[in-house]
A and B are shown apart, each in its own frame.
Chain A
Amino acid sequence: MSKKETTYSINQEVIEEKEYSTLNLGPTHPATHGIFQNVLKMDGEIIHEATPTIGYIHRAFEKLAERRPYAQITPITDRLNYCSSPINNMGWYMTVEKLLGAKIPKRAEYHRVIIMELSRIADHIICNSVIGVDTGAMTGFLYIFQWREKIYEIFEEICGARLTTNIGRIGGFDKEWSKKTWDLIDTFLKEYPKGLQEFANLLERNKIFMDRTVNCGPISAEMALSYSFVGPNLRAAGIDYDVRVMNPYSSYEDFTFTVPVGTQGDTYDRFMVRQHEMWQSLSIIEQAIKKMPEGPMHADLPDFFLPPKEQVYNNMEALIYHFKIVMGETDIPKGEVYHCVEGGNGELGFYLISDGGRTPFRLHFRRPCFIYYQAYPEMVKGIMLSDAILTMSSMNVIAGELDA
């Protein structure tokens, strides 16, 4: 379907007559990772205007959260950025702990850091390998997905689930991790650098990849800030904003790591920032294991401490206690709190208003994808369709986080 558009000068003379065609990059498309629609007005192969439509997977998380007690909201947070669910879970726990004013033992915080960095690696594996697939490099995807399986094995040892983990508790962890978990983590730390280096050798200095991705969908730092970019996308544009450094949570101030920053904000910079962040995450996990302090694994929160499973299955009081906590019959203070963590895509914020009841009065998720995807029409103006696809996949737009 094409439309003629004529540009007139002041004197009503025709300067330019262009025929635009409309292309529907529909909700189901192999290259859009997740379901969102873009209606593109194109002049041949060059995009003149893009109109995104989202909401195809709107699951009403915020309304659902008003119905569920605090301990039952974690599975919902899992499904926000489902490529790195443990980070969402930990963010939610920290929000509730801030509301309660609880102090978490250092040992539990270091364990949380290990889990969050592992899931950050998992998230960046998906994003970077899929950028490779979109440029045609299937091999990188197949090689590096094997390492995601190893991370899944670690999560499975700790909490039983691979993807939507619901890991940990409000207040820490339920029990010490098994020896097998630590062996798996040690093996991962020894072997993953080789796998990551292999993937890096395939793509990082590959001329074809660089020709495709350098100068593809750039964004300047001023525009990125005005569109409230966060995370790797903002760091690729040159601003070193990382919530772990600026507002440290969960003992991140005890670790030394660098925050990689790009220059142009194009696809190649976004790819490289994520690559370097994976190396930094490995270093953080090693530091956490080396400096691990002794202590309890759960904070002293009698109202939120779920009894150990052996007692729950054998002892009546423990069963009743477990039931009461999970069903929300515990006292929550009134108040409102905003807490943010550095998710795979940037600042993931939880704005919680509690009125003292069993369920939150209002819970709002500050979802980074939703906010920075607005800049997409600006970023693709005047570039070709295949570059626009790459720009979208390098921004790591996860549909679950976009729509909530």
Chain B
Amino acid sequence: MELLEIVNTKLKEHFAGDIESAEMLYDYPVFTIQKDRIHDVLKFLKEDETLNFHFLTDLCGMQTADEKQLGVIYHLHNMPKNHRIRLKTFFDINKPEVATATDLWPAANWMERETYDFFGVRFKGHPNLKRILNVDEMDIFPMRKEYPLEDQTRDDKNDSMFGR
């Protein structure tokens, strides 16, 4: 609880209007930030001496339940004090653009490529934004809910046997 208060107070000093929500989910303080300010918030969290979230644990994407928005989730870690927080930012699925975090953490490079590959989120300023896990010629973003898991071009599955 205290970590939530500390970070929330510090963030409110500089980014008062951009924090959409701040809550405690299980054991993590979670902040939802406006998409246009996420880079500045990350920079502040990394460079502030007391907060010092110098380690980027994870960066992933998601699609909201109503399928109209995409989101990027950041997990940050302050190792000396053992503080962990989560940041989220959401944006419209038809205009998925966010600023990149590669200038703050080089580790974000491939994680953002993976998010682009799976969800189609374009990271502005990324040095090499192209597909990383799927074949380069793929033109869909497979993790979006609208696309199926199986390969639709198969002709050898007998659906009558599997009760589909």
Contact = CB atoms under 8 A, between A and B. Distances in A.
Note whether A and B contact each other (Cβ less than 8 A): yes
Contacts of A226: 105-107
Contacts of A54: 132-133
A337 B26 contact: yes
Interface residues of A, number: 41
B100 interface: no
Contacts of A246: 79, 82
Interface in A47-81: 54-55, 58, 60, 62-64, 66-67
Interface in B127-148: 131-135, 142-143
Contacts of A362: 62-63
B110 A371 contact: yes
A274 B143 CA distance: 36
Interface centre among A55, A228, A403 (most CB of B within 10 A): A228
Contacts of A63: 142-143, 149
Interface in B116-164: 118, 131-135, 142-143, 149
Interface string A382-399: 000000000000000000
Interface stretch (A139-147, A163-171, A209-217, A349-357): A349-357
Interface residues of B, number: 35
B109 interface: yes
Nearest to A404: B133
A321 interface: no
A54 to B, nearest CB: 7
B79 A55 contact: no
Interface string A275-287: 0000000000000
Given A226-B106, A228-B57, A228-B107, A338 B75 contact: yes
Contact of B106 (A60, A64, A340, A374): A374
A335 interface: yes
B111 interface: yes
Contacts of B30: 336
B132 A55 contact: yes
Contact of B86 (A227, A239, A338, A372): A338
B11 interface: no
Interface of A: 54-55, 58, 60, 62-64, 66-67, 98-99, 225-228, 239, 241, 246-247, 335-338, 340, 347, 349, 351, 353, 355, 361-362, 364, 366, 370-375, 403-404
8 shortest A-B CB distances, which residue pairs? A228-B107, A55-B133, A58-B133, A364-B60, A366-B58, A374-B110, A227-B107, A362-B62
15 contacts: A55-B133, A63-B143, A66-B149, A98-B26, A226-B105, A227-B106, A228-B57, A338-B28, A351-B60, A351-B75, A364-B60, A366-B58, A370-B111, A371-B110, A374-B107
